[in-house]
């Protein structure tokens, strides 16, 4: 049945519209004669209706009404129908007015017939759309009831996708806009705002909610997640548009809530022109390219089309992962992938001689604080001597810009990590005085999801039943997402001056 409807869709539409014209003419004429059936010239109505039907098919075809695959009952289809009906009405009225002899129907009836025909066409399309949605709706007792947060475009697309397939069955919509109360989206009612969540959960028996607002702030997400947690609901989220897999929303985009969602993403206004000025068309080297910070730097730098992007790390598996994330393949066959330890000055020299980098982002480091306390000499070899090796070669080979990734533990350093990174900052600042390029350091705080971050530890401790270990019960931690931090590092490389040590504003 569906195959037949799809194959002959336009023919069926045109036939329905022709019938709408014939019925519209007859009703308009009948009304004109105050429902006196005997007064209606049936042959005249048929003759004028034939003209209307031919005009509707021809103009509808030329106007794209029977060509474009508009969804039934959408605004675009209604507008297209209105344009065609308006032109047909003019032709029908003209044919009636200038017909020889007695007019088939009064001219006023011919004009009104256009409005009647348009109403019939629109109602027919809307009814047909509702029928299609009902036929495509998946009905199953196994599907999980879910509440959708957000009655906007994201909510509409999520509900549409869930109705057609998937494990979830939307049972209610929540939106803070009071004007949307009791609105129905694909048959799903907007039941209230966030304060109504408990009542709606009790009514529907839902065990899941989804935040279907791609632009939702961290504050909004935290509030919804807190309410959901109190009601023992599992929270899902529709991610920001730039994280989706394609145009529009599909069920594959929906994922569980993460810490990054709770934190939110601050809007950063990158000075694209200045960033492109020192990266586009340049030879760029990133050390520690396989790490969480280094790999994100590589992904973002790649967007600015450097002449070459040399990714250096001592971990071959990490290099493969970053190549896959950038190029979609992991063959490890590119000369821009370099296996090297920054402690090895001779090997580093080979890398500089071969690639002649103009910009260096130095993200390679040992950073696990407790481990470095037990193996301080290893921290010094990598964080101090490794950095010194890079700085000497950068000066010798005329690097234009050197950005050293540091840590907030370098401030008032009291640990091996802090002391070694503080010395690396001082070495970088000194190199800026000795060499012609720009040398600077950027200090990081807690970066959400980076290797060595406290969050993986917290997750593991919670999974094991707790408790979690914290510095102090009243401590406040400030976090930044990896993409956000790397954007700021790249911006710092464009705007900073020699020898500066910049500290990232860690936000909330």
Is residue 112 within 8 Å of residue 48, measured between CB atoms? no
Radius of gyration of the chain (CA): 34
Domain 283-503, CATH class in plain words? alpha beta
Q: How far apart are the first and last CA of the chain?
A: 57
Strands (E), 333-382: 337-339, 359-362
What's the CATH code, domain 144-263? 3.40.50.720
Domains 144-263 and 283-503 share a fold: yes
The H or E element containing residue 312 is strand 308-313
The string of DSSP letters for 425-490 reads HHHHHHHHHHSSSEEEEEEE-EEET-TT-HHHHHHHHHHTT-PPP-S-TT----EEEHHHHHHHHH
List the chain domain ranges: 1-136, 144-263, 283-503
| Cβ-contact 403, 493 below 8 angstroms | yes
pLDDT at site 244: 47
Gap between the Cα atoms of 96 and 6, Å rounded? 36
The two three-digit tokens of residue 442, written as one number? 């950027």
- Picking from 267, 165, 176, the residue whose alpha carbon sits closest to that of residue 215 is 267
**For the chain, which residues score pLDDT lower than 70?**
1-9, 67-75, 101-102, 132-141, 240-250, 265-272, 449-454, 496, 504-508
Return contacts of 337-343, CB within 8 angstroms, 24+ apart.
Answer: 337/311, 338/310, 338/311, 338/312, 338/313, 339/313, 339/314, 340/312, 340/313, 340/314, 341/314, 341/386, 342/287, 342/312, 342/382, 342/386, 342/387, 342/389, 342/390, 343/381, 343/382, 343/385, 343/386, 343/389
């Amino acid at each position: 049945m569906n195959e037949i409807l799809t194959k002959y869709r336009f023919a069926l539409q045109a036939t329905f519209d022709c019938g709408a014209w014939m019925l519209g003419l007859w009703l308009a004429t009948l009304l004109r004669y105050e429902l006196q059936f005997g007064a209606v010239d049936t042959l005249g109505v048929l003759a004028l209706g034939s003209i209307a039907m031919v005009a509707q098919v021809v103009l509808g075809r030329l106007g794209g009404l029977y060509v474009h695959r508009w969804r039934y009952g959408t605004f675009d289809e209604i507008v297209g129908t209105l344009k065609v009906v308006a032109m047909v009405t003019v032709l029908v009225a003209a044919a009636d007015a200038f017909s020889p002899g007695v007019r088939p129907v009064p001219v006023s009836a011919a004009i009104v017939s256009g409005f009647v025909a348009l109403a019939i066409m629109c109602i027919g399309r809307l009814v047909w759309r509702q029928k299609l949605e009902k036929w495509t709706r998946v009905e199953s007792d196994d599907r999980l009831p879910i509440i959708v947060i957000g009655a906007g475009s994201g909510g509409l697309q999520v509900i549409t996708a869930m109705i057609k397939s998937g494990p979830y069955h939307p049972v209610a919509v929540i939106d803070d806009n009071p004007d949307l109360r009791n609105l129905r989206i694909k048959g799903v009612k907007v039941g209230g705002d966030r304060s109504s969540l408990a009542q709606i959960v009790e009514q529907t028996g839902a065990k899941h909610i989804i935040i279907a607002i791609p632009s939702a702030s961290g504050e909004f997400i935290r509030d919804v997640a807190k309410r959901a947690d109190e009601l023992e609901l599992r929270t899902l989220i529709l991610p920001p548009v730039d994280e989706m897999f394609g145009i529009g929303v599909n069920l594959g985009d929906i994922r569980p809530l993460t810490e990054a969602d709770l934190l939110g993403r601050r809007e950063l206004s990158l000075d694209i022109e200045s960033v492109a000025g020192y990266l586009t068309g340049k030879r760029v080297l990133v050390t520690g390219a396989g790490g969480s910070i280094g790999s994100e730097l590589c992904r973002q730098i790649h967007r600015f089309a450097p002449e070459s992007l040399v990714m250096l790390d001592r971990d071959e598996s990490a290099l493969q992962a970053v190549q896959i994330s950038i190029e979609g393949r992991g063959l490890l066959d590119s000369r821009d992938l370099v296996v090297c330890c920054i402690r090895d000055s001779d090997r580093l020299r080979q890398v500089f001689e071969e690639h002649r980098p103009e910009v260096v982002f130095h993200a390679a480091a040992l950073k696990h604080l407790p481990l470095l306390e037990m193996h301080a000499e290893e921290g010094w070899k990598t964080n101090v001597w490794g950095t010194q090796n890079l700085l000497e070669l950068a000066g010798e080979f005329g690097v234009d810009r050197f950005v050293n990734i540091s840590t907030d533990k370098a401030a008032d350093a009291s640990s091996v990590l802090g002391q070694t990174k503080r010395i690396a900052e001082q070495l970088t600042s000194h190199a800026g005085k000795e060499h012609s390029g720009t040398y600077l350091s950027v200090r990081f705080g807690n970066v959400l999801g980076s290797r060595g971050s406290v969050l993986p530890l917290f997750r593991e401790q919670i999974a094991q039943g707790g408790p979690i270990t914290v510095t102090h019960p009243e401590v406040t931690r400030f976090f930044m997402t990896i993409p956000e931090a790397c954007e700021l590092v790249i911006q710092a490389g464009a705007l900073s001056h020699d020898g500066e040590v910049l500290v990232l504003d860690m936000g909330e």
